[in-house]
Amino acid sequence: MRWLTYARNMPEIESCLDGINTKNPDVKNSLAYLDMGTEPLKGRSVPVLEVSKSSQLTQWIGYEDKNKTNPVEYQIGKSKLPGTGFFRSFIYSDKAQSATIGVNHKNLEVYLNGILKFSQNSLWSGDQQINVELRSGLNVFEFVFLKGRRAARFMPAVYVYDPLGNPLPDAQYLTNLDQLRKADKEHQQEMAKAGNILRVQAAPELQFAPKRLEVQAGTKVKLIFSNPDVMLHNWLARETRQCRGNWRTCG
């Protein structure tokens, strides 16, 4: 990327870059960033990205139990969210677009639209910037903050922003509980329409996410597999004496 930045000052190479025509979103983003140039866009000098407070997710649904049957509504600034648990929020986007999720936590899982985007269990590194792709329409952000030796008492701030740290363009952030309830109702309707789906995907450190599948005995489910890793993986589901006929008790 540094070489490409320098190349923008070289007419011959710049003409080649201008001729690149691609449908790959990552290449498109790289070219867009190069077009910004090297001049600071938010001041004379910005050594650290300044993330706008307006890009924070402030309306949340949390669950007090592991089965997610007792939802609790939270508003940043009016209530303190627990430091561990499962939390969900939403953003409406008028178009598919790239975004960065910013959060400071050492032991967490981050899901976007039901797909695991990031997981970590560390004693040291907590400042996370997670690059994701939003879809057009309702986007569902889900966070699992796990217990750890250095876990905070309260949930950290979560931001979703563009490359300059600003709120996403052509997107609506939730600002009140009515909007939160409306978005969650739409999400639940989408889940009911899709049916009983279990998503399994490869995760860091040769693991799968989620680590445990739970369904009621006799329930028909649809398994969707995703492998974002560069390595091929095998996945096996089998019936054991302990959980025969009831996956709910299977680890």
- Contact of 81 with 62, CB cutoff 8 Å: yes
**Helices assigned H by DSSP within 67-202:** 177-194
Question: What's the whole-model pTM score?
Answer: 0.70
> Does 228 map to a domain?
yes
> Does 166 map to a domain?
yes
Q: Are 68 and 170 found together in one domain?
A: yes
Q: Are 156 and 118 found together in one domain?
A: yes
> Does 96 map to a domain?
yes
The CA distance from 17 to 33, in Å, is 13
The count of other CB atoms within 10 Å of the CB of residue 89 is 24
The answer for residues whose C-beta is within 8 angstroms of residue 249's C-beta and 6 or more apart is 242, 243
Tell me, what's the pLDDT at 2? Answer: 44
Cα distances from 94 to residues 10, 19, 102, 118, 131, in angstroms, run 37, 29, 21, 24, 19
> Does 219 map to a domain?
yes
Q: Are 19 and 61 found together in one domain?
A: no
Query: Which of 166-203 are b and which e, b meaning 16 or more Cβ less than 10 Å from the residue's Cβ?
Result: ebbeebebbeeeeebeebbeebeeeeeeeeeeebbbbb
Q: Are 57 and 135 found together in one domain?
A: yes
Q: Are 72 and 150 found together in one domain?
A: yes
> Does 214 map to a domain?
yes
The CA distance from 177 to 197, in Å, is 28
> Does 43 map to a domain?
no
Q: Are 122 and 155 found together in one domain?
A: yes
pLDDT in tens, the chain (251 residues): 444 444 445 666 667 766 677 777 877 777 777 766 666 666 555 556 789 999 999 999 998 766 677 899 999 988 888 888 999 999 999 999 999 999 999 889 999 998 888 888 877 778 899 999 999 999 999 999 988 776 678 899 999 999 999 999 999 999 999 999 999 999 999 888 876 677 777 776 677 777 677 666 777 777 777 777 667 777 776 665 555 555 444 44
Residue with tokens 């561990």: 84
In the chain, how many domains are there? Answer: 3
Q: Are 93 and 144 found together in one domain?
A: yes
The answer for residues whose C-beta is within 8 angstroms of residue 222's C-beta and 6 or more apart is 195, 196, 197, 198
> Does 116 map to a domain?
yes
> Does 155 map to a domain?
yes
Tell me, what's the pLDDT at 244? Answer: 52
Q: Which domain holds residue 162?
A: 53-177
Tell me, what's the pLDDT at 251? Answer: 43
Q: Are 99 and 134 found together in one domain?
A: yes
Q: Are 65 and 169 found together in one domain?
A: yes
